[in-house]
C-alpha cells in the first residue's frame, strides 16, 4: 500500500514553526516510504479562515521546499461529499438527528459540572423513532457505549480511551454545516491517508475519529502525535518569542535548509548527528524516533546551522535567496560582481543573509562615508605615499586577477620598504570605507577597477582635507 500523509492546516494565521515542523515530519515520512504527501486546507471555520492565511501557508510551504503531491484540497469545496456521507450514516443508523434545544444541552452541562462529572450529551435522542417535523436539529454520531478505543501512537505508544468518556459527537450543526472532526475523518478516508502526523493537541480527537472511521468501515490510519515546541523560556511558543512565522525566518536571513535542518532535529534525532542534507533526512527519518517530550526553541543553534549552510551550499543557490535581501535592503545588484562570487568571499563571516547583504553593499554602490574609527587609524598622512603608489600600479595593470592584485600590493610594499599591512590597511579603508573585508585581492577583484581607482582618490582627498584642517 502506498504511504500517504497529509498536512492539514486551518487557515486562521500564518504558517508557524510548530505547523512547519509537523508538515516537515509528515513530508519526510511520505518521502522516506516512497509515498505521497497531501496538502489539505481545513477551512470549514468560515469566520476564522481567511484567504490571506491560505496564501501565507502556501508561501511558507513553498519557501520551506515542502512540495505537495496532491492538493491543496479545500474542505469548503467538499460539503456535498460530507452531506452524502451523513445521509448514508443516518440511513445505516450510525448517526441520528438530535432535537435537544441548546438550553437543554446547556442545563445538562451545568448540572454535570456541578456534580463534578465530565460534560457529555446524555443520548436522549439516540433511539428516537424518525420524526416528521421541521423542528431544528443537529446530527450526532452514535458513539459505541461500551468498550475501548485503542491505538498505537508512533510517538506516545499505546493509548486507550474508554468509550464511556466519549459522548455522541455533533457531526452536522443546526445550520447544516458539517463539524471539524467529521470532515477530517471523511477526508482522511477519501484521500487514502495511511499515516496521520499532527500536533498532540489533537490527541483527544483521535478516538472519536477512529470510531467514526470504524462506523464507515474505513481503514484506520496510523497516528503520530508530535509534542509541542516551547520557547527558550519553557513557555509555549508564541508571538512573544519573536520569530514564529516561517516567513519571518526568511525575513531575518535564514536559509530554508537551515530552518528545515533545525526543525527536523527539534524533536527527532538520529544518533548524535546534527547536520542532515535533505537526502539524509529523507533516508533516516522515522516516526518512531520522534521525541515524546516537548522541545525548546534555541535560536543559537539555528544561527549555527544557518552559518553552516551559507558556507557550504552552492553559492549560486544561496544567491537565489540572497537576492531577496539585496532588494529588501535596496541594493541594486545589476551593476557589480555576480552575487555568487560575493557569497564565496563573504560566507565565512556571515551569520544570516541579512548580514551578508549588508556587508556586501560596497561591492555595488559607493559607501556613504568612511567608518570614523577606521579612517582615523588608517587614513593618515603617512598612508598617502602608499595609496598614491598602489593607485598608480593598479591603474597601470589590466590583469585584475587575485594573483596579480596580490602582486601589486606586494610590489608597492617592497618598493616602499614597508610591511604589507602599511599598504593593505589604508587601501582596504579606501576601497570599502571600513577596516573589515575579505582578503584584499578578492575584495579588489570584486569591486572592479572602475570603482576601486576613484575610491583611492576619495581616500587621498580625505587625507588632504584632514591635513588642511590641522
Ligand atoms: N486543522 C488542524 C489544525 O490546524 C489539523 C488537523 C489534523 O491534522 O488532523 O490544527
pLDDT tens digits along 419-431: 999 999 999 999 9
How far CA 408 is from CA of 380, 404, 455, 460, in Å, comes to 21, 6, 17, 18
State the pLDDT confidence band at 294, using cuts at 50, 70 and 90. confident
Complete DSSP assignment for 213-271:
HHHTTPPPPEEEEEPPEE-TTSSBP-GGGS--BHHHHHHTT--HHHHHHHHHHTTB-ST
- Whether the per-residue pLDDT at 151 is higher than 70: the answer is yes
330-356 mean pLDDT: 96
Q: What proportion of the chain, given as a percentage, has pLDDT over 90?
A: 90
0.75 surpassed by pTM: yes
In ligand 1, the atom with minimum distance to the C-alpha of 180 is 1
Helix (H, G, I), strand (E, B) or coil at 329: coil
Ligand 1 probe mutation, 198, 203, 221, most atoms within 8 A of CB: 198
- Whether the per-residue pLDDT at 117 is higher than 60: the answer is yes
Q: How far is the CA of 61 from the centre of ligand 1 (A)?
A: 15
Ligand 1 probe mutation, 4, 50, 76, 184, most atoms within 8 A of CB: 184
Question: What gap in Å lies between CA 418 and CA 416, rounded to an integer?
Answer: 5
Ligand 1 probe mutation, 16, 199, 203, 225, most atoms within 8 A of CB: 199
Q: How far is the CA of 198 from the centre of ligand 1 (A)?
A: 7
In ligand 1, the atom with minimum distance to the C-alpha of 6 is 8
Torsion sign (Cα): 246, 248, 249, 253: positive
pLDDT value, residue 237: 76
Ligand 1 probe mutation, 10, 49, 221, most atoms within 8 A of CB: 10
Assess whether the previous peptide bond of 72 is cis (omega < 30° from 0).
Answer: yes
Residues touching ligand 1 (Cβ under 6 Å) are 8-10, 42, 184, 198, 202
Q: How far is the CA of 365 from the centre of ligand 1 (A)?
A: 48
pLDDT value, residue 233: 79
pLDDT value, residue 240: 64
pLDDT value, residue 230: 87
Ligand 1 probe mutation, 7, 41, 42, most atoms within 8 A of CB: 42
User: Which H helix or E strand runs over 41?
Assistant: strand 36-41
Which residue, by CA, sits nearest to atom 6 of ligand 1?
8
Name the phi and psi angles at 364, rounded to 5. -115, -20
Which tens digits make up the pLDDT trace of 215-273? 999 999 999 999 988 887 777 776 666 557 899 999 999 999 999 999 999 999 999 99
Which tens digits make up the pLDDT trace of 59-110? 999 999 999 999 999 999 999 999 999 999 999 999 999 999 999 999 999 9
Helix (H, G, I), strand (E, B) or coil at 43: coil
In ligand 1, the atom with minimum distance to the C-alpha of 209 is 9
Q: How far is the CA of 108 from the centre of ligand 1 (A)?
A: 29
The candidate with the shortest Cα–Cα distance to 265, out of 300, 301, 238, is 301
Q: How far is the CA of 402 from the centre of ligand 1 (A)?
A: 56
Q: How far is the CA of 10 from the centre of ligand 1 (A)?
A: 6
Complete DSSP assignment for 257-272:
HHHHHHHHHTTB-STT
Helix (H, G, I), strand (E, B) or coil at 353: helix
CB atoms within 10 A of CB 107: 12
- Whether the per-residue pLDDT at 120 is higher than 70: the answer is yes
Q: How far is the CA of 269 from the centre of ligand 1 (A)?
A: 24
Helix (H, G, I), strand (E, B) or coil at 49: coil
In ligand 1, the atom with minimum distance to the C-alpha of 198 is 8
Q: Any idea what the Cα angle at residue 302 is, between residues 16 and 202, rounded to 5°?
A: 30
User: Which H helix or E strand runs over 170?
Assistant: strand 170-172
Name the phi and psi angles at 149, rounded to 5. -110, 125
Q: How far is the CA of 41 from the centre of ligand 1 (A)?
A: 9
Which tens digits make up the pLDDT trace of 169-206? 999 999 999 999 999 999 999 999 999 999 999 999 99
pLDDT value, residue 395: 98
Q: How far is the CA of 196 from the centre of ligand 1 (A)?
A: 10
Q: How far is the CA of 193 from the centre of ligand 1 (A)?
A: 14
In ligand 1, the atom with minimum distance to the C-alpha of 205 is 9
Q: Which of 7-16, 27-36, 227-236, 267-276 has the lowest mean pLDDT?
A: 227-236
CB atoms within 10 A of CB 273: 10
State the pLDDT confidence band at 394, using cuts at 50, 70 and 90. very high
pLDDT value, residue 235: 79
Q: Any idea what the Cα angle at residue 157 is, between residues 152 and 159, rounded to 5°?
A: 65
The pairing of beta strand 138-141 with beta strand 222-226? unpaired
Amino acid at each position: 500500500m502506498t504511504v500517504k500523509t497529509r498536512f492539514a492546516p486551518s487557515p486562521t494565521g500564518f504558517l508557524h514553526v510548530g505547523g512547519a515542523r509537523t508538515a516537515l515530519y509528515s513530508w519526510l515520512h511520505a518521502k522516506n516510504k516512497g509515498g505521497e504527501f497531501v496538502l489539505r486546507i481545513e477551512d470549514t471555520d468560515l469566520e476564522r479562515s481567511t484567504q490571506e492565511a491560505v496564501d501565507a501557508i502556501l508561501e511558507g510551504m513553498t519557501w520551506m521546499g515542502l512540495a505537495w503531491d496532491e492538493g491543496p484540497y479545500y474542505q469548503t469545496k467538499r460539503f456535498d461529499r460530507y452531506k452524502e456521507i451523513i445521509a448514508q450514516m443516518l440511513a445505516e443508523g450510525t448517526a441520528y438527528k438530535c432535537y435537544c434545544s441548546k438550553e437543554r444541552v446547556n442545563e445538562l452541562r451545568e448540572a454535570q459540572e456541578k456534580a463534578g462529572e465530565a460534560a457529555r450529551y446524555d443520548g436522549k435522542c439516540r433511539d428516537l423513532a424518525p420524526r416528521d417535523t421541521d423542528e431544528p436539529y443537529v446530527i450526532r454520531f452514535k458513539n459505541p457505549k461500551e468498550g475501548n478505543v485503542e491505538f498505537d501512537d508512533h510517538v506516545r505508544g499505546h493509548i486507550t480511551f474508554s468509550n464511556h468518556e466519549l459522548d455522541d459527537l455533533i457531526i452536522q450543526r443546526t445550520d447544516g454545516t458539517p463539524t471539524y472532526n467529521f470532515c477530517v475523518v471523511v477526508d482522511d478516508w477519501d484521500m487514502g491517508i495511511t499515516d496521520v502526523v499532527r500536533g498532540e493537541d489533537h490527541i483527544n480527537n483521535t478516538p472519536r475519529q477512529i470510531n467514526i472511521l470504524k462506523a464507515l468501515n474505513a481503514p484506520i490510519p496510523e497516528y503520530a502525535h508530535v509534542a509541542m515546541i516551547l520557547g527558550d523560556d519553557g513557555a509555549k511558543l508564541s508571538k512573544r518569542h519573536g520569530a514564529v512565522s516561517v516567513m519571518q525566518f526568511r525575513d531575518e536571513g535564514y536559509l530554508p535548509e537551515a530552518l528545515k535542518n533545525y526543525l527536523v532535529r527539534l524533536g527527532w534525532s538520529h544518533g548524535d548527528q546534527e547536520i542532515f542534507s535533505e537526502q539524509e533526512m529523507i533516508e533516516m527519518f522515522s516516526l518512531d524516533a520522534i521525541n515524546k517530550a516537548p522541545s525548546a526553541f534555541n535560536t543559537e543553534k539555528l544561527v549555527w546551522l544557518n552559518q553552516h549552510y551559507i558556507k557550504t551550499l552552492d553559492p549560486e543557490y544561496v544567491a537565489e535567496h540572497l537576492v531577496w535581501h539585496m532588494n529588501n535592503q535596496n541594493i541594486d545588484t545589476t551593476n557589480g560582481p555576480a552575487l555568487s562570487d560575493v557569497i564565496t568571499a563573504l560566507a565565512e563571516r556571515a551569520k544570516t543573509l541579512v548580514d551578508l547583504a549588508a556587508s556586501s553593499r560596497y561591492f555595488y554602490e559607493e559607501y556613504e562615508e568612511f567608518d570614523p574609527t577606521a579612517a582615523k587609524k588608517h587614513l593618515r598622512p603617512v598612508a598617502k605615499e602608499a595609496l598614491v603608489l598602489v593607485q598608480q600600479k593598479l591603474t597601470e595593470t589590466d590583469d585584475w586577477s587575485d594573483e596579480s592584485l596580490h602582486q601589486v600590493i606586494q610590489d608597492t610594499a617592497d618598493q616602499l620598504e614597508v610591511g604589507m599591512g602599511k599598504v593593505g590597511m589604508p587601501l582596504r579603508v579606501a576601497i570599502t570605507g571600513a577596516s573589515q573585508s575579505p582578503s584584499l585581492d578578492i575584495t579588489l577583484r570584486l569591486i572592479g577597477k572602475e570603482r576601486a581607482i576613484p575610491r583611492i582618490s576619495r581616500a587621498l582627498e580625505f587625507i588632504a582635507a584632514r591635513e588642511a584642517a590641522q
